[in-house]
Amino acid sequence: MLDMDVRVLSRALDWASDGHTLWLCTVVSTYGSSPRAPGSMLVACGDGDYLGSLSGGCVEEAFIDELRAGAFPAPVEVRRYGDSAEESARLALPCGGVLEVLIERREATAEWRTHLQALQEALLGQRRQVRHVTPASGDYHLADDETTGSGHRVARRADSVSIRVGPAVRLILAGISPVAEACAQFARTLGYEVIVCDPRRELCRTFAVEGVPLEPTLPSLYIASGACHDATAVVALTHDPRIDDLAMIEAVRTPAFYIGVMGSRKTSDDRATRLMRSGGLTEADLARIHMPIGLDLGSKTPAEIALAVVADIMRTHNGRARDAL
């Protein structure tokens, strides 16, 4: 499963290359409860064919009905859904939620195709971009994203909308184990890019998770090669310090947003001592490492542990504190 943003932009690029006029919709802001976050996208053709999600169903249906009826002729407009009692009931928005959606009507020009290609490359690469759109004029352009961390994905100003575009979450699994395999399966379902590294040939022969490439090398070497960007999580789940410890030493030197290693509290304390004495890590380095890893869900089986790990990665990426759960 690919990240939904990648799928939306790939479809948009295919349609634009075939000469179709497109409507690109982006959630700008939400009020109250909403199943989709700001930055969520949908692309549609004039016949009502579409890919993506704005609300989980109801807003999409309303938008497509209006589009088929000839609505949204302007290059850019911002539409508010669920803003009245009548509309909230008709759209069945959850918990009285309200959405603001940026709706762009774009002809299949060379400039637009180039813009879509650049957006797709930002999602598939390591370089974050900011997409600036001016509703009044319909102008749009891309610029490098100079901010750090996850931050707010969409910024709304009086005369413009800025949308941060960057790579899907990358999960590097340092070593093969039953927990790692379950992690890979969960993460792929969420649309993460997953890469597994392990030099042990006997384990490499048994690993098979669809859509997950296997690098037959030491995870520490792969991490040190520049494989991590700021949307990367590095996780070690083998119980083998020859793999886990070296991966942690290299991971803290990268901009990875999540670094974690499996083990009990005692094992984690022993590892912290080793990493400081032998690996030269500082207290600040150790503070970046989640050990013990994952949320405390009372997990016992490999699948349960993997669920706790992936849930903690998602929590961190979304900027949620543990005590806010």
Number of structural domains found in the chain: 2
In whole numbers, what is the pLDDT of the chain averaged over residues?
89
- 180: domain CATH number? 3.40.50.720
Both 49 and 150 in a single domain? yes
| pLDDT tens-digit readout, 228-245 | 988 899 999 998 999 999
Both 9 and 120 in a single domain? yes
Both 175 and 148 in a single domain? no
Q: What are phi and psi of 187, to 5 degrees?
A: -65, -40
Which residue range is the domain that position 264 belongs to?
170-324
For 151, residues 6+ apart whose C-beta sits below 8 A from its C-beta are 164
Residue found under tokens 């759960």: 325
Both 130 and 185 in a single domain? no
Per-residue confidence (pLDDT) for residue 2, from 0 to 100: 52
Q: Which of 165, 192, 211 is the last residue of a domain?
A: 165
Q: Determine if the pTM surpasses 0.85.
A: no
Name the range with the highest mean pLDDT among 3-7, 88-92, 204-208: 204-208
Q: Which of 254, 252, 243, 315 is nearest to 289 (CA)?
A: 252
